[in-house]
């Protein structure tokens, strides 16, 4: 089964931030993401080829923070 990763997103200050992050993540090959502004969480299902570090780096490149669950 495909990995499903939850990320805690920091730095979002409006609902458009969530959409921005979601669109960017979904541009990655083999990634399907939803970002919830209200909860500050991203739920990402992805190909096993896509590492969590890649997801985090993608979010950070947009200027937000992303932290996988401990």
Q: Does 14 bind ligand 9UX (CB under 6 A)?
A: yes
* Tokens describing residue 48: 């096993």
Q: Order the strands of the 4-10 sheet from edge to edge.
A: 31-36, 41-46, 4-10, 65-67
Residue among 1, 13, 48, 53 that touches ligand 9UX (CB under 6 A): 13
3-state secondary structure of 29: coil
Residue among 4, 6, 10, 16 that touches ligand 9UX (CB under 6 A): 16
Which region among 9-17, 23-31, 40-48, 51-59 touches ligand 9UX (by CB under 6 A)?
9-17
């Amino acid at each position: 089964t495909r990995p499903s990763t939850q990320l805690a997103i920091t730095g979002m200050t409006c609902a458009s931030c969530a959409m921005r992050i979601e669109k960017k993540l979904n541009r990655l090959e083999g990634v399907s993401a939803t970002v919830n502004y209200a909860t500050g969480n991203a739920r990402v299902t992805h190909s096993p080829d896509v590492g969590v570090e890649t997801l985090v780096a993608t979010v950070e490149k947009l200027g937000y923070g992303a932290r996988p669950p401990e």
